[in-house]
Structure formats: C-alpha cells, structure tokens
Amino acid sequence: MAKTDWAIVMGVSKYPALGDLDGAERDASEFRDWLLTAAGVPKSHVSPIVTSDFHPPVPESEFEAKPTPEHAEKAFDRLWKLAKTSAARGDGLRLGRRLYVYLAGHGFEPKDDGPVLLTANASREQPGYHVAGKLYAEHFLRSGCFEEVLLFMDTCRERCDQAPLRRPPFAPSVNPQAVTDGRFFHGFATRWSLRTREKPLPPDGLPGGIFTRTLLTGLKGAARKPGSEHQVTAHSLKNYLINRMRDLLTPEERKDPDVQEWPEVHIAPDAEDRDFVLVEVEPVLFPVIVHFAPGDKGKRVEVQRGGDFKVVERTRVRALEWRIDLAPDTYQLVIPDPLRMVLLKVSGLEEHHVYP
Amino acid sequence: MSTRKSRKPGPSAGPPDRIRLVVECEDRAAEVFIVNSGLVLVERGTGRAETSVLPGLYAVRVKTGTVSREHYVALKPGEESIVGESGSVRAERFEGGVKLTYERMTIVSAAPLEATDGWDASQAEAARRESRSIHVRRGKGAGVFVFIRHRAVPHAGTGAEAGLLPRLRAVLYDSDGKEIADTRRDGATDAGPGEPRTACSWSACSTIVDPGWYRLVLRQGSEAGLNRTVVACAGWQTQVFLREPGLPVPGEAGDTGRGTESTVLMAPQAQGFDPGSKDLRLSEMARLALAHRRGRVAGRLLEELVRSKFRDPMLGVLAGHLLLLGGGADLALLKEIVLNLRRLVGWHPDVEALALRTAPAAGLAAASPFLLPPMLLRSWLAVLGAAAGRPELVPSGSYSDLVSDRLFGDGLWLEWWPLTGIEGAGSAPTRAAGLTAADLRWTGGPRFHPSERSVFQIGALNPTEAALLDQLRALRSAAGKTGRGATAKEYTARGGRGSGVRGHPAIAGDMLAGPLDSGDTGPRLREALARSLGVPPASVDRLLAGLRRKLGTS
C-alpha cells in the first residue's frame, strides 16, 4: 500500500536573517530515512528539500539563501501535475493512498490558518517567505488526490496577524467524497502563539527538535496501540506525543511560559472507533537499568505492568545493576522491606535508569 | 467544568472491580487530566475530576497556564497509593477508592499574589499599602494603580553608573494626550534614602481619575515605548501589574529578553490590592487560560463568577472571551455576562466588544463607534470582525484606526507602537477629525524589541503596507495582467532599504490604481482587504494613501 504514498520533506537550518538552527535539517533527514525504510515509501516519491542541497557556499545574505518557498511550491506542483495527468486519463485526481508533509525550521502563525515554515530567505521584515503547510495538506486531501494526509510541522507558532499569508496557488478543488471520507493527522510541535524547543538529545547529544524525536520514536514502535504489538495508529501516536514529549524537557524548561510541553494534534475522523493505522511495526523493547542500593541485596523485586499489575520481570537482587528489556509502557517497580513502589515510564526517548 | 456531578466519596458506584478516583484542586480553574497506562485519556475536568476505573496505574496531571504537576497513582482494591514522590498532593483512601487533593499551584503572575512565581512578601505588602495611598489626584470617582516589579540586575558598570540601568517606567495619559502620572516621578519606590530612584525593586503609583479611557505607555530609558489601554471605571480601582522583562545587560551572558509580563485586576476603589484574595487569583487563572486558549475552563469560571455575584469585572470579561473560544458558545449566557458587566462598570470597550459577539437578536451590540481601542487583543479582534461589515464601528481618523497597523506582539493585551505627532503633543487623537495620514510619521520604534516576540518594522514599508502591496499584486495577477509585478522585496533590494522604494513609480502607479478606485467593487474589496490585513476597513484607505505616498505615486 505504501507504494502509492508520496512525501515532501523540508528541513531548513540556515537562516542568515533569523539565526541558524542546529537540528532542523537533521530532523528532516531522519524523517526521510524513516519514510524510505519503515514506512516503505518509494524513493522516487519522496521530495527532500534541505539546506545542504544548496549550501555551502555560505549565502551572503538572506536574499541568496535557499531553500525558498519556490522549492516547496515546485514539489507540490509536481504532485498536482501528476494528479491532473491522472484526471486527464479519466481516473480522477487520485494520486495515491497517503501524502506525508514534514516541515522543520523557523515558523510562525500568520492568522488562524495553522503554522507556516519560514524559508531560508525570510527575515523579520519579510516574513512572507514561507510554506503554509496546513493549507497544502488540506488542498491535497479535499481535492481527493490522497485518501490520507499526514502533516508534521516542527516549527514555532508565534502569532503575527499582520504578516502576509503566502497561500498555495491552487484554486479550491473540493471532492465531496474526499471531504467526508478523507483521513488526516496534523501534528504541530507546539500550540498557537508558543514556541517549540530544539536541544541536544540522547543518546548522542546532537541537537534536534523534541517534537520530531518523539514523533519518530513513536512511529518506530513506541507508540503502538495498547493491545496491539504491531500497529501504530493515529490515536495511539497522538496519545504518545501528548503524553511523552514533555519527558524530553527538564523541570526548568517546563516552567518556560513561552514553550509548550505538549504538541497540538488533530485527527480526522476523531472518533476512537474510527481510528486508522499509520504504520505496522515490529515489537520493540527498550533497555532499562535498575540501580540498587547495597541494602537491597537479597530482596525480591518485581516489575509490574501498569495496565493490570501483571508481573513482567522479577529478580532477587544479587548485583547492584539489573538490566532488563521492556516494551514501551508504564510500570511500577516494587521492592519490599520497606515497601517501595517506583514509577518506571518506558518511552524509548532516552536511556532508562531507575534508582529505587 | 467538571464533567460529572459532584458527590461525596462513598461506596463504589460501578461494578465491584472498579475503583473510584477523585481529584480535587484548591485552584478551582485548574485543568485535571486522568490518563491510563496506555496513555489514553479517561477523564478530564476543571477544578475537579472523578471517574471509576479498572485497577491499574494512572497518571493524574493538573495544569494551570503553563504550570503542571503530574503524579501516578496505583489503584489496587484496598491498596490505592501514589507511586513515587507525592509532593504537594494529599491522598486519602475511602471505601472503594481514593481522593487526591492538590494544593494551590504556583502560577505565573506579574501581580504579587500569594502562591505565584517569584512571590515576595515585601512587594506584596508594598502593593497592598501603595494601592490604598493616593500619589496623584487628577479627577474623582475611579482609580488607576500601577505597580512595577523590577528585575534585580547586577550592573557591570563602574562608579556612579553602577546599578543605574534604565528601568521600566509607566506613564499614564488621558484620551486627549495629557500626561496624568509617571511612576518614576510621582509614585513610590523602595529605594532607600540617598539611593537613586532607579535602584529599587518595585515602583508604584496610585492615581485618582475620572472614569474613562486612558493610555499607559511603558518606557525604557528615553525611548518611547509600547502603549496600551487602561480603563478606569466608576467606583473601581484598575490595578496594572508589570514585571520588568529580562533585558540584555552588558557583561551578562545570554539574552534573557522577553516581553513585559503584565496583568490587570480590578477591585472596589477603597479596597486596594489584596495579595491573598481568592477572587483576584481566579482572575489570574482566567487570564492564563485565555492566554493559552484553554476555553474548557470557561464553564467553571462562570460558575464562580455567578457564585460571587460578579464581584470581579475582569473575571467577567476574561470569562466571556473564554466562552467564545471554542465555537458554539452559549450566546444567551454571554448576553447575561454583558448585561451584568454593564451594570457593574458602565461603559467599557472590552465589555462592548463582547456585546458585538452576542446574537444580533439580543440587541446588545454596541451602537457607538470604537474611537478608542480596548484592553485585550481578543476584544480588538472582535471589533475588527464586526467592523468588516460595519465600517462605521471604527471611524477613519479615530485613534483606533490610527493604531490598527502599529500593533505589537501576540500576547493577551493590545499593545501598539506610539504615533509621533500625537504623543505628548496635547492634541486629541480621538476627536481630532482634522488629523490625516499625512500628519503622521511611522516612528519605526526599536527595530528589535529585546523580547523574542516578532516585531516586523522596516524603514520603507511597514509590514501592513507590505502585506497590502502583496495583496494588490495578487489582485492584478488574478485580473490577468501580465508580469509578476514588483514586490516589496524588489523595491527595497534596489539601492538598499528605503532608498529604492521610489524607483518604479510607473509600476507602482499601475498597481495602485485600479480596484479600490472602482465604484462597484470598492466597498467589497475594501472589506476583503481589511479582513486579510487584520485592520478596520477605514484603515485600508489610509494605508493605501501611505503606500501611494511612499511609492511616489500620490
């Protein structure tokens, strides 16, 4: 089914006028890698647009910097051209099953039309150089080009009402059936008027967006639907993003009123009984290291699963480190004499060390 | 609002293997989320949430604004307990379940209310004391109290300059542009004897004024700063609290810049500020909810508002906007809020902005125009929305028109950059119909405000003019004219910023003549442009005139 999927992936790291970002291109590249491997999207169907496609040489100013909105517009135009070719053949505008749109870089929100990704040539005086991801996503869904559109935007959403909105150049094309039956997943790194955060992330300490890190970890299996080992669905991914992204922030970072600790996610259809599968995954396990105190030696320790308190691992403490592999879930570690219950959230986002 | 009827904990109401989980918060407007170990939200509420669930591990999250707390509770029949640190939550077992009670959370506020971030008992006492003093008397019947909490900034300078950083000060003007009070000159501080007034941790100024509209200007050093509305209501004291932003300081690493934190409260005039007031805290929670678009708390806030018999007008205004946030608002309830607020405070632009959002059949919509802007940005957006179809709501040349394209930031409060030729000149910005766009100069303001919020100002076209130019170009293209047409970028790129603007009068003239001059399409196009640009229709003509002037086509 992924053979008819398409993707546009854009990551902008160099902004001569706005300040460079350290992780946006890398995030986009990692998302592209996931598309080509786990998601099974054909390579010829993926349009990557990243800073290193154009630089070095280092641009002298924002006027020479790329990528620009035209690069994204060309990629979307290509899809539209293919859809029109399909329509000319009598097959309607349907191009494929799913469209992925991933955008990472500086961003803001002109009005209430969703966040936009600023391109490399944007500046504070010229915020009109951007890509309105949500508007493109909506066009390709409502026109019936795709059954599903997944939009992921790892950008800020500071509000600026008076910045001009660069609308997609498409006239409205509405397929009533597509509007009724179409499915979408819109994931935005932050909420309206707030910022998101990129920071050095485990395990290698390289910078990345916390939204993208959580997204990819979830898509690779950490966000599988409860009761299913093999499926990540729209709702399970939404729940994972909302509940786990904040774990990548320190308590101090969570206090920053300008940074949102959970993303904004919209799904259609929204009813849980109409949940849809995003990707099939292999079961994943994540390493956990429990560090005991010397006084715990000899004690019987259990790891109980949070959903039903079923014991999934147990040991009698002999060494001060106990290494186990656990599926993503919430657990409690129970140590008697005196009774201690220690929370263990296995999210896959970081190395899991427990100090009871 | 809590989604279940409140009832005392008691025997389990569900099947025998289910356990009751009750969460209560001292902060009545705190949001409560209960999530199971599969990360599925099982219950939510405002101030309180209650559910019956199967045994398991559950996350309980309580949130106010951006402050949140999370605890996990293990629900095993007869063994219910919090897993890990309990912190500021109490757990009480009862038959069939457990109740978690959350104490007040430390919320972010510029006002020195108890249980707020950066709470300082001496500042709270100072605010209480000074709000009951009178530093300036320029009228009667209403009060404006401004309290500024200054940031403690070690200065790397030497000698006499050490510690003398420019500090935030607030200057109050009336609607005629006359200066009423200046916190630095007229108010009180905690600067000791012999210390300069800038070496203080707070400054305050309490003014008695006539009821009406006032403008507060926030100044840093000698630069003209941001303006905002303050409304003084008969019998009330409007309390404006400001917490100085973190400013880049020579010698201090990193840019800690952020916009000035501020809040506005209202109290009966004789009462002054009460740091322990539950009503004021609730207003603050409403402000945080509105700032973060948490419309779900509207229901609980309105319950409290009605319960307190509308003691706090600011809570009413904020709750009204929260009610409108999600769509599908109860307009009958909004009408009741507006009527109560009008009885409480009389004329108030933010109340009248809410009236615009009630159903037309309610007959409440403001009849008089909005010559002066309201306090809240959301109120202004309501005015813009209504003005698109009723241009007379924001008349051409009114102060509201003149500031409409000078707005700053994206916070809760409506703020704008000053208009030169108006401020301090003693002229009447609202009633001086003789003012034209030609009398005004775009000040430019500081190019980059220390805060991280977006400020888009250029020397040639201001952002709204640039947006208008883009819109006109798009119109020309849509009308089938050949060529892309010049863009703002192309103008400014030639010869540097500002100097290239006049370079192509022929193209500009072609672009700027046309649709808006057409008798048939003018009003509709004007309305569409107003909506698109986020300004009142009256401002479109003014912006067009400004554009023509700058492009050398007038």
Whether residues A341 and B65 touch (CB distance < 8 A) is answered with no
Q: Which of A110-124, B52-66, B292-306, B495-509 has the highest mean pLDDT?
A: B52-66
B350 CA: distance to closest CA in chain A (Å): 20
Residue B97, H or E segment: strand B97-102
Is B292 touching A (CB cutoff 8 A)? yes
Same fold, A2-280 and A286-354: no
- Is residue B135 within 8 Å of residue B181, measured between CB atoms? yes
Our CA angle for B473, B479, B481, nearest 5°, is 70
pLDDT at A77 over 70: yes
The span from the CA of A218 to the CA of A202, in Å, is 15
Mean pLDDT of A152-172: 80
A256: which chain B residues are within 8 Å (Cβ-Cβ)? 66
State the burial class of residue A2 (Cβ atoms within 10 Å of its Cβ: 0-12, 13-18, 19+). Answer: middle
SS3 state at B533: helix
Tell whether the torsion through CA atoms of B41, B47, B52 and B53 is positive or negative: positive
Looking at A328-342, B280-294, B421-435, B537-551, which range is the least confident one?
B421-435
- Tokens representing B536? 């009142």
Please tell me which residue, A90 or B364, carries the higher pLDDT value: A90
CB < 8 Å from B in window 240-259 of A: 240, 242-244, 254-259
> Which residue of chain B comes nearest to A164, CA vs CA?
B467
The span from the CA of B553 to the CA of B544, in Å, is 11
The span from the CA of B81 to the CA of B100, in Å, is 10
Whether residues A128 and B470 touch (CB distance < 8 A) is answered with yes
Please tell me which residue, B520 or B222, carries the higher pLDDT value: B222
Residues 6+ apart with CB under 8 A from A142: A172, A173, A174, A175, A178, A179, A182
Mutation target to probe the B interface, by most B beta carbons within 10 A, among A112, A266, A311, A330 is A330
CB < 8 Å from B in window 104-133 of A: 108, 111, 124-128
The span from the CA of B402 to the CA of B175, in Å, is 14
- Tokens representing A150? 């997944």
Is A161 touching B (CB cutoff 8 A)? yes
Looking at A122-126, B199-203, B259-263, B414-418, which range is the least confident one?
B259-263
- Tokens representing A44? 């010829």
Please provide the CATH number assigned to the domain covering A286-354.
2.60.40.10
Q: Which of B41-55, B78-92, B379-393 has the highest mean pLDDT?
A: B41-55
pLDDT at B164 over 60: no
Residues 6+ apart with CB under 8 A from B545: B437, B438, B554
Residue A141, H or E segment: helix A133-142
- Is residue A100 within 8 Å of residue A48, measured between CB atoms? no
B66: which chain A residues are within 8 Å (Cβ-Cβ)? 254-257, 259-261
Beta bridge partners of residue A232, listed in sequence order: A279
SS3 state at B293: coil
B457: which chain A residues are within 8 Å (Cβ-Cβ)? 125
- Tokens representing B48? 């309180």
Query: Which tens digit of pLDDT belongs to each residue from B401-421?
Result: 988 888 876 678 998 887 764
Q: What is the DSSP letter of A307?
A: T
A341 closest CB neighbour out of B40, B74, B117: B74
Please provide the CATH number assigned to the domain covering A2-280.
3.40.50.1460
Mean pLDDT of B382-408: 87
The span from the CA of B181 to the CA of B232, in Å, is 14
Whether residues A261 and B66 touch (CB distance < 8 A) is answered with yes
pLDDT at B336 over 70: yes
- Going by pLDDT thresholds of 50, 70 and 90, the confidence category of residue B441 is very low
Is B66 touching A (CB cutoff 8 A)? yes
Whether residues A163 and B38 touch (CB distance < 8 A) is answered with no
Is B81 touching A (CB cutoff 8 A)? yes
SS3 state at B33: strand
A46 CA: distance to closest CA in chain B (Å): 30
> What is the 3-state composition of chain B as percent helix, strand, coil, each rounded to the nearest 5?
30, 25, 45
Query: Which tens digit of pLDDT belongs to each residue from A256-301?
Result: 766 778 899 999 999 989 999 999 999 999 999 999 999 899 999 9
State the burial class of residue B348 (Cβ atoms within 10 Å of its Cβ: 0-12, 13-18, 19+). Answer: buried
**Residue A211, number of CB atoms within 10 A of its CB:** 27
Q: What is the DSSP string of A239-287?
A: HHHHHHGGGGS-HHHHT-TTB-SS-EEEEES-SGGG--EEEE-----EE
A213 φ, ψ (degrees, to nearest 5): -60, -45
Is A309 touching B (CB cutoff 8 A)? yes
Amino acid at B139: G
Mean pLDDT of B472-482: 54
The whole-number pLDDT of residue B478 equals 54
**Residue A312, number of CB atoms within 10 A of its CB:** 14
Q: Tell me the CA end-to-end span of chain A in Å, nearest whole number.
A: 46
Mean pLDDT of A47-51: 96
| Domain ranges for chain A | 2-280, 286-354
B274 CA: distance to closest CA in chain A (Å): 25
Looking at B123-127, B225-229, B513-517, which range is the least confident one?
B513-517
How many CB pairs (< 8 A) connect A and B?
Answer: 127
The whole-number pLDDT of residue B138 equals 96
The whole-number pLDDT of residue B434 equals 27
A328 CA: distance to closest CA in chain B (Å): 9
Whether residues B55 and A308 touch (CB distance < 8 A) is answered with yes
**Residue A306, number of CB atoms within 10 A of its CB:** 24
Sketch out chain B's domains with CATH numbers: 19-102 (2.60.40.10), 121-155+166-276 (2.60.40), 458-550 (no CATH)
Q: Which of A144-158, A165-179, B328-342, B354-368 has the highest mean pLDDT?
A: A144-158
pLDDT at B55 over 60: yes
Q: Are strands B236-243 and B142-149 parallel, antiparallel or unpaired?
A: parallel
Whether residues B40 and A159 touch (CB distance < 8 A) is answered with no
Mean pLDDT, chain A, as a whole number? 90
Tell whether the torsion through CA atoms of A289, A295, A300 and A303 is positive or negative: negative
The span from the CA of B2 to the CA of A89, in Å, is 56
Query: Which tens digit of pLDDT belongs to each residue from B503-540?
Result: 333 334 444 555 555 444 567 778 778 877 778 888 88
pLDDT at A51 over 80: yes
Whether residues A160 and B454 touch (CB distance < 8 A) is answered with yes
The whole-number pLDDT of residue A219 equals 97
Whether residues A332 and B74 touch (CB distance < 8 A) is answered with yes
Mean pLDDT of B310-318: 85
Mean pLDDT of A131-147: 95
> Which residue of chain A comes nearest to B39, CA vs CA?
A239
The span from the CA of B97 to the CA of B12, in Å, is 7
Mean pLDDT of B136-151: 94
- Tokens representing B109? 């506020």
The span from the CA of B379 to the CA of B376, in Å, is 5
The span from the CA of A311 to the CA of A292, in Å, is 19
Whether residues B57 and A306 touch (CB distance < 8 A) is answered with yes
Exposure string of A59-80, with b = 16+ CB inside 10 Å and e = fewer, is beebeebbbbbebbbebbeebb
CB < 8 Å from B in window 312-351 of A: 329-332, 341-343
B463 closest CB neighbour out of A162, A239, A342: A162
> Virtual CA dihedral for A268, A274, A277, A278, nearest 10 degrees?
10
Is A236 touching B (CB cutoff 8 A)? yes
SS3 state at A130: strand
Is B390 touching A (CB cutoff 8 A)? no
Whether residues B59 and A243 touch (CB distance < 8 A) is answered with yes
> Virtual CA dihedral for B362, B363, B368, B369, nearest 10 degrees?
50
A164 closest CB neighbour out of B35, B453, B466: B466
